Chain A
Amino acid sequence: MTLRRTSGRVAANVLVWGYAAMILLPTLWVLSNAFKYKIDIITGATLSPVTWSNFEQLLFSRQSQFLWNLLNSAFVAVSSTAIVIVIATMAAFTLGRLRVPGWVRWPILGWALLFQMLPTLTFVGSWYVMWSAIGLHGTYISVILTHVVHNLPMGLFLMLSFMSALPHEIFQAARMDGCSNSQMFWRVAFPLVRGGMIAATALIFIFSWSDFAIALTLTSPATMTAPVAIATFAQEYDIRYGEMAAGTLLSIVPALILILVGQRFIVRGLLAGAVK
């Protein structure tokens, strides 16, 4: 029994760390391109002279504004994710836990799924026309709100699944205690579903952070986000691997920090809620 358990644990460890290596090895190899000359990158040289020229090109060349692109990305992703999570969580609670007439429920869920299934690429032209018509093309508002509607179906369905996974008895008990809908949301559902919220927040943040198609069409040079800037390195005649890797390195770090700090922030809120 003990032996089996130990060998099982060893096997699990091998599996997990093997998988971690599968992720780390190519990632680090490619990110190390940020410090190489292109000739060393395309020949796959392992030991090669180190250069900062890619970062210089990325950050300090006259036409570059990569740090500004990163700030734009952070602003757009944080704002749109916050809006999605707030409205999706409330709606998911109502749809998943309260009695809602069918003519309200099914159009919302059906539309969300339909909208999610159609390719984003085919919508961006329409969005451009709409935002231009009211003079908001190229502003943060246009990108943020479009990201909200684009990621809303996923936010809604994820939160719905977490809401429906909560045990039925808790809500029954709360109802017996005379809780109103809003009280049930804030006191019962919200604290219990925060684990799911963290995951949904992280995913929606990532989708907004790495979006290319919407940001390309709706941003102007002043509001351009990091993925659009990084895409300029995939050029018609050649791919600037070095600058691309440098840009990726600089965009991964803030994204990971925001996700991990955000998690801690939400977890602390969770503990605070539990103490209450």
Chain B
Amino acid sequence: MNTMIKPGVVIRRNKRWLVLSLAPVAVFFLVLSGFPVLNLLGLSFFDVEWREGAAEFNYIGLENYHRLFLEETIYWAGVRNTLVFAVTVVTCQMVLGFSMALAVKRAGSVGRTILTGIFLLPIVIPPIVIGTMWRLVMGREFGLANTLLRWFGLNEVDWLGNPDIALASVMFVDIWHWTPFVFLLMLAGLESLDEEVLDAARLDVTGFWQEVRHIVLPLMLPTILITVIFRVILSFKVFDEVYLLTSGGPGTATEVVNFSIYRTFFRQDQVGYGSAMSVVTLFAIALTIILARGVLARRRNAEEAE
């Protein structure tokens, strides 16, 4: 510690910084998210009924959870689909987004601006439009995708109508839509890497892939991890695309949890039951993140052991 300046002043100022820098976040969370979150958690133990224009809150204990685990079918089909969906789309988005970021970083400045602009396009389009536009593109009779297939003399595909293909189609749209999210963060991560550190490390490795694997990836790990976490959370919350593309059908082929929650909580106005679904989903997400962290950590350990 430097003893040249008065420690008392520094300590007081430093304390003030701690309080000032954290207070706004704490206040926002407390005031604007405290009530909604606690309300949601609490409601999962209630059945809410509206009579004579007023709400009746009937405490029913674990009844909503009981019903969810024993009587529900649609939600659990959604859980299964969402797990497949989340793992697939996040993996593809990470690989694609990272590769594109690497490529753009190495491109010339003009190509770079153009490519960044193009790559960002999908996330600038409102989600509700993404759903409708891909429904047009994937339409069986007149969609662009089948028009192209017919041009090449291939058989048309019922992208959204065939129960075996529908989920894959929805996943494709999600990958298309959200890869820019990963791309942007990976690019930022790459650009903030210290060139001196990179240059020094380059002496030890040969070839591009070696460099990426042994230097870039380990250095980027914090950014990669947080990107994966957010992509997992957001892919569990996927809604607009499914809503407008397939509404969960045919059958339960494309049902996802957030759509079940929307239908229950909002369309059917079963707020207690919908809250219970949200809480169970919360645990599913947490579990997936813990597993993803575990996989990444094991990777890193294996790499270090090499």
Question: What is A's interface to B at a CB cutoff of 8 Å?
Answer: 8, 12, 15-16, 19-20, 22-27, 29-30, 33, 41-44, 87-88, 90-91, 93-95, 98, 100, 104, 108, 111-112, 114-123, 125-127, 130, 145-146, 148-149, 152, 154, 156-158, 160-162, 164-167, 175-178, 180-182, 185, 192-193, 195-196, 198-200, 202-203, 206, 209-210, 212, 226-227, 230-231, 234, 239, 241, 244-245, 248, 251-252, 255-256, 259-260
Residues of B whose CB lies within 8 Å of any CB of A are 1-2, 4-5, 10, 13-14, 17-18, 20-22, 24-26, 28-29, 32-33, 35-37, 39-40, 96, 99-100, 103-104, 106-107, 115, 117-129, 132-134, 136-137, 139, 142-144, 147, 176, 181, 184-185, 187-189, 191-192, 194, 197, 208, 219-220, 222-223, 225-226, 229-230, 233, 236-237, 239-240, 244, 258, 261-262, 265-266, 271, 274-275, 278, 281-282, 285-286
Partner of A181, one of B17, B233, B286: B17
Once the chains bind, are A185 and B134 in contact (CB under 8 Å)?
no
B237's nearest neighbour on chain A, judged by CB, is A119
A182→B13 contact, CB < 8 A: yes
**Cβ–Cβ < 8 Å partners of B2 in chain A:** 175-178
Q: Are B18's CB and A94's CB within 8 A?
A: yes
Choose among B4, B13, B258, B278 the residue that contacts A180 (Cβ–Cβ < 8 A). Answer: B13
CA A200 – CA B258 in complex, angstroms?
25
Query: What are 17 pairs between A and B in contact, CB < 8 Å?
Result: A15-B103, A43-B142, A90-B21, A118-B282, A122-B261, A122-B271, A123-B36, A126-B35, A145-B28, A149-B28, A161-B223, A162-B188, A165-B219, A210-B124, A230-B129, A256-B121, A259-B120
Top-10 shortest CB links A-B: A199-B188, A44-B142, A178-B2, A126-B36, A161-B226, A181-B17, A123-B36, A149-B32, A90-B21, A87-B24
Question: Could you say which residues of chain A place their CB within 8 Å of the CB of B32?
Answer: 127, 130, 145-146, 148-149
Give the distance in Å from the alpha carbon of A24 to the alpha carbon of B115 in the complex. 11
Taking CB atoms, residues of chain A closer than 8 Å to B10 are 178, 180
Q: For A202, what are the chain B residues with a Cβ–Cβ distance below 8 Å? A: 120, 184
Complex CA gap A175/B223 in Å reads 25
Q: Is the CB of A24 within 8 A of B188?
A: no
**Would B100 and A16 count as touching, CB distance under 8 A?**
yes
Within the complex, what minimum Cβ distance (angstroms) separates A186 from chain B?
Answer: 11
B181: chain A residues at CB < 8 Å are 203
B117 in complex: contacting residue of A114, A125, A158, A260, CB < 8 Å: A260
The closest CB in chain B to the CB of A259 belongs to B120
Instruction: Tell me which of A23, A30, A98 contacts B137 (CB under 8 A).
Output: A30
CB proximity of B288 to chain A, nearest CB, Å: 10
* CB-based contact A23/B14 at 8 Å: no
Of the listed residues A15, A117, A167, A193, the one surrounded by the most CB atoms of chain B closer than 10 A to its CB is A117
Q: Could you say which of B37, B100, B117, B133 has the most chain A C-beta atoms within 10 Å of its C-beta?
A: B133
Alpha-carbon distance A244/B222, docked complex (angstroms): 39
Least CB distance, A224 to chain B, in whole angstroms? 14
A121 and B239: CB pair below 8 A? yes
**Number of A-B residue pairs at CB separation under 8 A:** 256
Q: How far is the CA of A31 from the CA of B265 in the complex (A)?
A: 34
B144–A29 CB distance below 8 A:
yes
Bound Cα distance A126, B48 (Å): 14
Asked if B18 and A100 make an inter-chain contact with CB atoms under 8 angstroms apart, the answer reads yes
Set of chain B residues within 8 Å of A164, measured between Cβ atoms: 222
Contact of B21 among A94, A160, A200, A212 (CB under 8 A): A94
Which B residue's beta carbon lies closest to that of A30?
Answer: B133
Chain B residue, CB-CB nearest to A45 = B142
State whether B192 touches A165 (Cβ < 8 A). yes
Q: How far is the CB of A66 from chain B (nearest CB, A)?
A: 13
Contact A117 B107 (CB under 8 A): no
Contacts of A182 in B (CB 8 A): 13, 17
Name the B residues within 8 Å of A20 (CB-CB). 115, 118-119
- CB neighbours (8 Å) of A209 from chain B are 124
Residue from the set A185, A199, A212, A227 with the largest chain B CB neighbour count within 10 Å: A199
Q: How long is the Cα–Cα vector from A227 to B24 in the complex, in angstroms?
A: 29
Contact of A231 among B4, B128, B188 (CB under 8 A): B128
Known: A119-B258, A180-B13, A212-B126. 9 other contacts (CB 8 A): A24-B121, A26-B144, A87-B28, A93-B21, A117-B281, A123-B33, A165-B192, A199-B185, A227-B126
Give the CA-CA distance A210 to B132 in the complex, in Å.
15
B222 touches A165 (CB 8 A): yes
B262-A255 in contact (CB<8A)? no
